[in-house]
Structure 1
């Protein structure tokens, strides 16, 4: 901090002090330096500092409300799915776990499909439900978060033959998310790798334990006109404890992610062209291989 005292208007020094305190796990001091650096006349310094402060501040809020939404079109099912959640977290001083209230929506436009010939399609392609729950989550450490919740799943289609109108819902698991290299939104181009890995227990699927691993390796283009673009190759794997065919498959294929100028930093579009193969085919009414084009929009706040 001697360098800052020598030149109090050196915003690069303020930014570096913010990262130094963040590395030392002193995030309160880091936020103070990032906020000072966010007033820099250099746009790249100001933007990096403002984003760093915004990323660190939520951990000190006593009550935090967050939400995300992910509508997705699938050419395989000729259907639009939607996944979303609104969550209110209550951070209690001295308590290692964070309690929260959650409302999830998992559904699709078609709702239900009727049997066709000798190879019937699944009657329901999603949970078609609003899920109200109380939960607990751990702090995120090195990209790992644990969580568990108990609630009530209510079908928005009315009474379903397989689950009725409402049923208890218990779910929980461990999530890992990490990225390396030139990630989307950065000022430089280059190679990157991202992974999202989950182990999730879901009571409504016969008390099943599901495993998801979604991996992307690719190249981030330099920003142009405020628009950020990535091209990548997907390598996805899904499996479960009960070895049900619909939960055991691998997918591969190219994709792209775009964040257009003027949109929030947490909003981007995705296009993925995938080829998949089921790794378990017992009771599978369809072919062992499939193709799918998925177009999605992700937004979180």
Structure 2
């Protein structure tokens, strides 16, 4: 694998190979490439979980990490992303982890640079490593995907997580359903009533309301959104005994999910964050081994 830019590029077998490798890293650790490869994390949008998770994964693999801060880069002088990547290629980088606000930013890079590109989130397009860590968390819990009912609730139209998970979970045999206000459904078919889907769901995945991607003011207040579309304490009582709660973060407490549910027994929110390190180790390894 030379790049990872979208879940669409991975087969079912490819996904499972990465999850199995992540499981080995979680059990046994690993320091695969001490001092052998140079990587940099180019984040043009704010990030805590993804950026720090990638850096931890890189350190656990023994990679050399060159610091990059977009707020001090030549992009502020008008340099294009392509020229930034070609500059880093010229000084000897092997792989770049990139988060960018533009959907499909990687299309101008793949095939035009020898540096491996890992998409850490492009606008409202794709977020493949988030999807992989979500899959790993579900696989740890249930040991399978086939026949599981996965409910994704929230700001679907603006969510790269929803798109990546819709692609991957469907490919793996899960039944994916969406709950959101009709105007936030985007290209997906959705319901707007919890009663239709909650009691039969094995996984309830909440999504953050992405105010920064909305073109107009939201029609919901925090309290009205929580009342209609949030996972409230009362709603959580309708969930299956073995059902789990997930959220890619950051969490708007009391909006998409009641605060008391975030660390409840059904919650796997912080487990997702933990698993992100091992999944990203597996992705980095798969890509860098191909550069030997």
Query: 1 or 2, which has the higher helix percentage?
Result: 2
Structure 1 or 2: larger strand share? Answer: 1
Q: Bigger radius of gyration, 1 or 2?
A: 1
What TM-score bracket applies, with the shorter chain setting the length? under 0.3
TM-score (norm. length: structure 1): 0.24
**Which of 1 and 2 has higher RCO (CA within 8 Å, sep 6+)?**
2
